[in-house]
Chains A and B, each alone.
Chain A
Amino acid sequence: MKRILLVCLTAVLALASSELWAQDRTVAGKVTATEDGSGLPGVNVVVKGTAIGTVTDSEGAYSLGVPASADILVFTFIGLKSEEVQIGDRTTVDISLALDVTQLSEVVVTALNIPREKASLGYGTQQVSGDQVNMAKEQNFVNSLSGKVAGVQIRTNNNFGGSTNIVIRGNKSVTGNNQPLFVVDGIPMDNSTGNDAYQRAGRLGYDYGSASSDINPEDIATINVLKGAAASALYGSRASNGVVMITTKKGKARKGLGISLSTGVTVGKINKDTFIQYQDQYGAGYAREWFGYYGPDGFYQDDVNGDGTLDNIVPTNEDGSYGAPFDPNLNVYHWDSFVPESDNFGKQYPWVAAKNTPVDYFETQVTLNNSIAISGGNDANTFRLSYTNFDNTGVMPNQTQKRNTVNFSGSSQINKQLTANVNFNFVNTATVGRASTGYGGNQMANFRQWWQTNVDVKSQKDIFFKTGRNITWNGGDFYDPETPIFWDNLYWTRYKNYQNDERSRVYGNFALNYKPTDWLNVMGRVSGDTYSEIREERIAVGSVPSEFGINKADEGSGYGRRNRTVSEFNYDLILTFNKKFGSDFGITGVLGSNIRTESFSNIWATTQGGLIVPELYSLSNSVSTVPNPEEVETKKEVYGFFANANLGYKNMLYLDLSARNDISSALPPGNNSYFYHSEALSFVFSELVKVPFMDFGKVRLNYAEVGNDTGPNRTTTAYTKNPNFGPAVLFSYPTTVNNPNLQPEELVSYEAGLELAGFERRLTFDLGFYKQNSSNQIVSVELSKATGASFLFLNGGEIENKGIEVTLGYDIIKNNAFKWNITANWAKNTSLVKSLPSGIDNYQINSFQGGVSLNATVGQPYGVLRGTGYQFLNGQRVINSSGYPVAIADQVIGNPNPDWTGGVMNTLKYKGVQLSFLIDVSQGGEVYSLDMHYGQGTGMMPETAGLNDLGNPKRDLLADGGGVLFDGVQADGSVNTVRARADYYGGAFYWGNSSRQPAAMTVYDGSYVKFRELALTYNLPSKMLGNVFQGVALSLVGRNLWILSKNVPYADPESGLGAGNGQGYLSGSYPTVRTVGFKLDLNF
């Protein structure tokens, strides 16, 4: 295929180069800025009425062969006033250009990396500078976009090295990917997490992070977000969720080598507002002394010391705190009283709340980031080479991530017509001890759901480091603390049962640009992104059995490895032309073709039945035969042809037309070719009517229809191989049935917008409206299991997203010394599931522990939470005769989508000092907390203890005035006066009864206002720098400094399982890490 492309490329070059223009004489000169007299590079110089022209070089100089008939040169540069100059008989024409405040226009990078004047665009885009993401650094630069771009909703999950959910203008696909496409310098980048379904459903697993985190923020020059379908149509169908286009820093023509050094250190601590608080009145157990099997003080009893009387022993096997009230005068045997290596061995000691609670378990996060970049160039060749080392430790013990990035970009002008560009990146990321998410084996679930308030985390640490053994507070039998029942020693989990992974990635491109004439450019480009990754997971011999491995059996030890390789190559041939007709009309056009090849392979293999030799982590060290590995290999090719024309009239009216046809191997033959198009209109009305104080005004309108294919291997049904039963071979009909009749998906989008600038450009305003309908979606529809299958791929269904986006910027103070700018953005998206395939009215996106699911329900926004809800009577919650709220099965109990999101960025500049800070707001949207569901049930939070409305301890028996009074009415409508018992776990906070205590009880408003980012930068004045430095900047940065407002108790509303369609569910959620640090930038 490559050879064919080359042949074609050569053919095009040969065809096009025959059309050359006659030149009679040469005019040269220099273009300078009126403001400061400096040379202006990149100014367009054109002979009026022709297409003959050139651009100025890095010093502002130009030289142009012109026909004898030429008499006027037109000098244009975006943001500057255009000038027309009579040539006469001169051979040197120098000129200075002044700022034009009526031209807001900036150049933005659009689809396929085509730079365009923003004024000519009939669709909304928003640009963010690289500084805004590399100042206060995060593991993934995408986190730093939060609150900065209107309509881009970002949810960072607080999982160490974890994935970031990013959705632009709402979720469009019922089951497919809703994340935008990432493109770096024209290279589409894989951004998958590779998190398995088990992890996504909140069971055991790790969040392996988003692959976009391989993009090194130090190398980013600008990020441009293409939000709508019209903007991204040229990228093809997979850009229908929007595109995050990244342009990296490039070398510039300059004297000598430029060297940039950057070094940064940040330290982080957990934000205690996002972690559980414990009641300090009651300790281990599930009930009080009057309940069943406890002794008179509420403890297990046995004659431990052999003195003939029964002793009190902590119920170590009960992972809750609903037990005996603390009493400093009561001495009991604790878990470590039975550990010979412990100082407390054989001792009874006071029954009190632990001194070191799990909040003391967290460590200080340290992030080091060092980067060096060398750049240089002359008129013909430029390059930039950078190396970055990122080294991060987490807040959990034994948690590190190291990333090394090498980036090279170069450009070479081979001759007047031919330019070659190359871009190459190598990234290696190695991580140890990622966050285990969800319900199984996650220490946050331990701390938030199943904990004894009497257990001191430091004593767990001490005993682990003293013995190296799994001595736990949670022995099934208190005499045997080395046989845990549910939870391992906290440090054993981190140091023995950790995972590790490593990813090596190469991405880059090579492009040849051939410019036979000044109005035509032909580009041939090959770009590739490929990585291989290994993920290793382990359970050490002696651990609590947990679901593990291929068969998800309970395994007391084991090892698993996953090898993934992902690659994508793109071959592009793109003709761009730019022609003026007379002085009023112009056309910019693109004609091109693209071949995309994707391949994916994944092998997951695990031991079974445990490990033979402890601490040896290899597949051959399996007690039972290693089960059949999970083996996935898919390929996909898409061929695209596209054309685009942007017709301009007098810098005032622009019509942008795009068309593209794709042929995809993922669709069945006959349905695999699909055409789509977009039309966009931009009207710069300020060119026509002059309004006082207004410098620039534009309206934009667009319409787009985009088709989409699906993932590979969804058209042919294949059987599943199960492990043999003895000699019997077992195959089963698959749970997911494929469909040979799939058709392309459709997305229809409308957008309108208004852009204004006024008061000498101190005020900027951008308003956008959109409506998008995605229909005929390819959905793996869940079926009644009575069909014999779980899922079937089908076309159908429609989701509508409507929204408003506003960006408003104002320079409150603007003078030579001081500038204060406030830029605010606000966006509201409303989604509605209009229909689902085959007439079903609900699609379950994810089903979670706690009987809660996430759904696409017809007539509801995308992603609503369903579970047991309250029963209402005249608007009041119904309380049953025992005082408990009545539960009704399968209700919509929450909508995780925020009502609106926004951000306010303040930037203050005084001479060399710049201060910026960002407030990030998300309003509305609900989350379900499994942590609260179980954590209250096990009596850990303060609200489960203390006094009730009568002033009596809640945990006293009802007969003694205890219990909790729920607001609501009895079934007969009378105000509830019946207290629910709260003297044992099965009462007012119980999780296990489907007819009462509905899931809706732990649904919370997910709104937040965060003081997200603060950066104070001091640029040393040039006179202090001397000859060696060209720039020195010192910055103080902070991220996630305060949560100014939130309603989810003890957790960050943003926390969750990871990126993907399953949002709004908190289980074992990680606390927010507050970071502060400094950064030093040196430029030589």
Chain B
Amino acid sequence: MRKIILFIFFTGWFLSCSDRLEELNKPTKDAVAVPAETLFSNGLNNLFFMMNNSDANRNVFRMYAQYWAQTQYPEESQYNMVTRRNPDNVWRDGYRDALQDLAQAKIRVSETWELLGLSEAERDNQYASIDISMVYGYAILADLFGAIPYSEALDINILQPKYDAAEDVYADLITVLDNAIDLIDGGEAGFSSRQDFLYGGDASKWKKFGNSLKLKLAITIADVDAGKAATMISEAVTSGVFTSNADNAEIIYLDAFPNTNPIHEDLVQSGREDYVVANTIVDKLLALSDPRLPVYADPLDDGVTYEGGIYGDNNTFSQSSHIGAAFYNPELPGLLLDYAEVEFYLAEAVERGVTIGGTAAEHYNNAITASMEYWGVDAADIATYLANPAVAYATAEGGGTYKQKIGVQQWIAFFNRGIEGWSTWRRLDFVGFNVPPLLTYNDIPNRFIFPIEEATLNGTNLQAAKQLIGGSDDVQTKVFWDVN
């Protein structure tokens, strides 16, 4: 009996400590609540990383766009995306590392804006910055995969989110983007200049970015919905798109890791010699006497000869042109969207019959000029180049079909933007890509396959997603806007 009493005493003492038990299990070294703007900056930084890195496990698109070739290990150039699980990694970079932090930032803004004493306009500008960034990220994922989780994504309560067809995703993204552009009050502040490394909290610049992104989405869907595209283009141009390189959605990387341009890690820090410039781009630049050649590539040891590595094959580092010195600079900026791109879209818009002012040739020349100015080509060389019959809009290859000439020039301008370079080839179908040894032209991917891990982590929805893209999860399947 006495022992029982003793036991009850003991038990009572333990149970009275349940507060203490709960306290013991709380994190003591990590924050359970953080400022919204820190999540926004992180998500945006990761979005730039996703677009700009050159990790062979992830972003292989500088190869797919045939800007870079590989030396000893050309697996990625041969479109092997299974062994290294590249689709899985790009997907993760997009959803988990970029979009989720942006989404969480939005939640935190809604939870804290009043406490922080923000005006509604400031809050809305923050919402808009987040939404524009998210629209950009989702559009890229949709472009890569053809169908992606969207309506059920980024919700920890839905462990197996269903996929939405890319065209449905686009339709909603356009609505979200329109709302975001409307929300922006260019005269009010957004995120702090400390945290908004893109535009320093200048909401009017975000508005231009939003409109330029709208232009990009419009052009992307132009082949499948010309009417909607025309409306969007007109609205975007009226509201105001990028008008100079100063408007670029650009990140200025810093000189010390981990804030260096991510390609610095692969080209310099690794000490490896995996990449050289591909013959595809080198040969084209040589053919056009393009003054960007010495920027994009280094000559061989003789100081004059440019020889790109054979795309898709293995190459000797010392016997191929290296990637230009500018790309070995840790502070090389990274881009989401730039003025040159906008002008190319405007040229295309004119060709597609949308009235926006200016001729296709003017916009085409503006685009090339913007690209060359960005890479530091002097004015005289630009003028000479534009006068080159192989470049001049009227006489360039492709003649009457704008897709070839705009496609090639846009592809050249996108040299440091692998995903967009490859997408331009997919969308405009310009002629000029090489075929890796043992492969055929049809083996050049039209899309990224779904992440391999989705088969086991989200299998049922993955099966349904295959139907959404036409039944077959392979690289030949085209995404919805790629109708040719």
The distance in angstroms between the C-alpha atoms of A286 and B71, with both chains bound, is: 11
Question: Which residues on the A side are within 8 Å of B13 (C-beta)?
Answer: 4
* Residues A832-853 near B (CB distance < 8 A): 838-842, 844, 847, 850-851
CB contacts (< 8 Å) of B74 on chain A: these are 992
* Stretch from A110-118, A332-340, A631-639 at the B interface: A631-639
Q: Which of A538-576 contact B (CB under 8 A)?
A: 544-545, 551, 553-556, 575
For B20, B104, B269, B271, the residue with the greatest tally of chain A CB atoms inside 10 Å of its CB is: B271
Partner of B257, one of A551, A593, A633, A721: A551
Q: Would you call B29 and A8 a contact (CB within 8 A)?
A: no
Inter-subunit contact B18/A787 (CB<8 Å) = no
Q: Is B319 an interface residue (CB 8 A)?
A: yes
- Interface-facing stretch out of A32-40, A726-734, A915-923, A1030-1038: A726-734
A contact residues around B459 at 8 Å (CB): 841
Q: How far apart sit A784 and B15, CA to CA, in the bound complex (Å)?
A: 39
What is the distance, in angstroms, from B308's C-beta to the closest C-beta of chain A? Answer: 14
Bound-complex Cα distance A551 to B262 (A):
13
- Find B99's partner among A483, A669, A788, A847 (CB 8 Å cutoff): A788
- Check B245 for interface membership: any CB of A closer than 8 A: no
Most buried by B among A318, A554, A625: A554
CB within 8 Å for A553 and B313 given contacts A15-B2, A641-B10, A784-B161: no
Binds B, one of A166-174, A227-235, A648-656, A712-720: A712-720
Q: Which of the residues B21, B22, B38, B272 comes within 8 Å of A730, measured between beta carbons?
A: B38
Q: Does chain B have a CB within 8 A of A947?
A: no
Report yes or no: B25 in contact with A713, Cβ–Cβ below 8 A: yes
- Binary B-proximity of A728-759 (CB < 8 A = 1, otherwise 0): 11111101010000000000000000000000
Q: Is the CB of A15 within 8 A of B38?
A: no
Q: Which residues of A contact B41 (CB under 8 A)?
A: 725, 728-730
Q: Among the listed stretches B223-231, B283-291, B383-391, B447-455, which one makes contact with chain A, having 4 or more residues with CB under 8 Å of it? A: B447-455
Q: How many B residues touch the partner, as a band?
A: 35 or more
A624 (CB) vs chain B CBs: closest residue: B256
Q: Mark B68-97, 1 if CB is under 8 A from A, else 0.
A: 000011110010111111001001100111
Residue of A nearest to B438 (CB): A882
Q: Please state if A8 and B10 are interface contacts (CB–CB under 8 Å).
A: yes
B103 at the interface (CB under 8 A from A): yes
Judged by a CB distance under 8 angstroms, whether A665 is at the interface is yes
From B3, B83, B96, B258, contact of A785 by CB (8 A): B96
1/0 per residue, CB under 8 A from A, across B4-21: the answer is 001101110111001011
| Residue among A477, A554, A785 facing the most chain B CB atoms (10 A cut-off) | A785
Asked if A293 and B319 make an inter-chain contact with CB atoms under 8 angstroms apart, the answer reads yes
Q: Are the C-beta atoms of A665 and B11 separated by less than 8 Å?
A: no
Contact of B83 among A713, A728, A731, A992 (CB under 8 A): A992
Most buried by A among B81, B270, B438: B270
B195:A665 contact, CB within 8 angstroms: no
Say yes or no for B154: interface residue by CB 8 A criterion: yes
- Contact check: which of A318, A477, A786 meets B148 at CB < 8 Å? A786
Type the 1/0 row for A965-987, where 1 means its CB is closer than 8 Å to any CB of B. Answer: 00000000000000000000010
| Contact of A665 with B82 at beta-carbon distance under 8 Å, contacts A593-B10, A725-B259 already known | no
In the complex the two chains form, is A318's CB within 8 Å of B159's CB? no
Q: Are A733 and B101 touching (Cβ within 8 A)?
A: yes
Contact of B30 among A12, A292, A721 (CB under 8 A): A721
CA distance A782 to B451 in the complex (A): 14
Instruction: Chain B residues near A850: list those with CB within 8 A.
Output: 83
Q: Mark B141-155, 1 if CB is under 8 A from A, else 0.
A: 000000011000111
By beta carbon, the residue of chain B nearest A556 is B271
Does B326 interact with chain A (Cβ within 8 Å)? no
Closest to B319 in A: A293
For residue B278, give the distance in angstroms from its CB to the closest CB of chain A. 15
Question: Assuming the A-B contacts A716-B27, A719-B30, A840-B457, are A669 and B80 also in contact, with contact meaning beta carbons closer than 8 angstroms in the complex?
Answer: no
For A456-486 the 0/1 string (1 means CB < 8 A from B) is 0000000000000000000011000001111
Q: CB of A783 within 8 A of chain B?
A: yes
Q: Are B7 and A732 in contact (CB under 8 A)?
A: no
Instruction: Say which residue of B32, B161, B310, B315 sits within 8 Å of A716 (CB atoms).
Output: B32
A445 to chain B, nearest CB (A): 15
Q: Is the CB of B313 within 8 A of A609?
A: no
Q: Number of A interface residues at 8 Å Cβ cutoff, please give it.
A: 103
B14 contacts A731, CB within 8 Å? no
Question: With A and B bound together, what is the CA distance between A718 and B25 in angstroms?
Answer: 12
Which of B92, B99, B155, B314 has the most C-beta atoms of chain A within 10 angstroms of its own C-beta? Answer: B314
From residue 358 to 389 of chain B, which have CB atoms closer than 8 A to chain A?
Answer: none
CB pair A737–B75 under 8 Å, yes or no, is: no
Residue B304, interface by CB 8 Å: no
Question: Is the pair A786, B161 in contact by a Cβ cutoff of 8 Å?
Answer: yes
Q: Are A719 and B31 in contact (CB under 8 A)?
A: yes
Q: Which residues of A contact B46 (CB under 8 A)?
A: 732
Rounded to whole angstroms, the CA-CA distance of A604 and B471 in the bound complex is 48
A318 to B39, CA, bound (A): 44
Q: In residues 853-879 of chain A, which contact B (Cβ within 8 Å)?
A: 855, 857, 868
CB neighbors of B among A977-1019 (8 A): 986, 991-995
For A991, list chain B residues within 8 Å (CB).
83
> Are B270 and A789 within 8 A (Cβ)?
no
Within the complex, what minimum Cβ distance (angstroms) separates A934 from chain B? 11
Using A784-B160, A786-B154 as known contacts, say yes or no to A292 and B257 having CB atoms under 8 A apart.
Answer: no
Known contacts A733-B104, A790-B92, A840-B457; A609 and B159 CB within 8 A of each other = no
Knowing A788-B99, A993-B78, the reply to whether A663 touches B453 (Cβ < 8 A) is no
Q: Are B24 and A994 in contact (CB under 8 A)?
A: no
By a CB distance below 8 angstroms, the chain A residues around B430 are none
CB within 8 Å for A790 and B34 given contacts A672-B18, A784-B160 = no
- Tell me if B329 counts as interface (CB < 8 A to partner A): no
B14 to chain A, nearest CB (A): 5
B82:A851 contact, CB within 8 angstroms = yes
**Residues of A645-680 contacting chain B, CB below 8 A:** 663-666, 668-669, 672
CA distance A868 to B456 in the complex (A): 14
Beyond A545-B271, A593-B10, whether A783 also contacts B103 by CB under 8 A is no
Known: A293-B319, A591-B3, A992-B73. A731 touches B34 (CB 8 A): yes
CB-defined interface of B44-63 with A at 8 Å, one 1/0 digit per residue? 01100000000000000000
Is B113 an interface position by the 8 A CB rule?
Answer: no
Residue B250 CB within 8 A of the other chain: no
- Closest chain B residue, CB of each to CB of A724: B259
Residues of A within 8 A of B234 (CB): none
B458 within 8 A of A: yes
Question: Closest residue to A838 on the B side, CB-wise?
Answer: B159
What residue of chain A has the Cβ atom nearest to residue B148's Cβ? A786
- Candidate in B21, B197, B256, B317 with the most chain A CB atoms within 10 angstroms: B21
Q: Which positions 762-799 of chain A face chain B at CB distance < 8 Å?
A: 781-790, 792
A317 within 8 A of B: yes
Query: What residues on B are CB-neighbors of A785 within 8 Å?
Result: 88, 91-92, 95-96, 451
The distance from the CB of A718 to the nearest CB of chain B, in whole angstroms, is 4
Known A609-B257, A889-B452, A890-B456; contact A286-B72, beta-carbon cutoff 8 A: yes
Q: Provide the residues of chain B in CB contact with A477, threshold 8 Å.
A: 318
Find chain A residues with CB under 8 A from B2 CB: 15
State the B residues within 8 Å of A (CB).
2-3, 6-7, 9-11, 13-15, 18, 20-22, 24-35, 38-39, 41-43, 45-46, 72-75, 78, 80-85, 88, 91-92, 95-97, 99-101, 103-104, 148-149, 153-156, 158-161, 194-195, 197, 254, 256-259, 265, 269-273, 310, 313-319, 438, 451-459
**Known pairs A665-B21, A840-B456, A890-B455 / 19 extra A-B pairs, C-beta < 8 Å:** A8-B10, A545-B269, A551-B258, A553-B257, A625-B256, A669-B18, A714-B25, A717-B32, A718-B27, A719-B34, A723-B259, A725-B254, A784-B454, A786-B149, A841-B456, A882-B438, A889-B82, A994-B82, A994-B83
Can you report 14 A-B residue pairs in the complex whose CB atoms are below 8 A from each other?
A: A15-B6, A292-B314, A544-B271, A555-B269, A609-B256, A632-B29, A666-B25, A718-B30, A722-B42, A725-B259, A729-B41, A786-B161, A851-B82, A890-B452
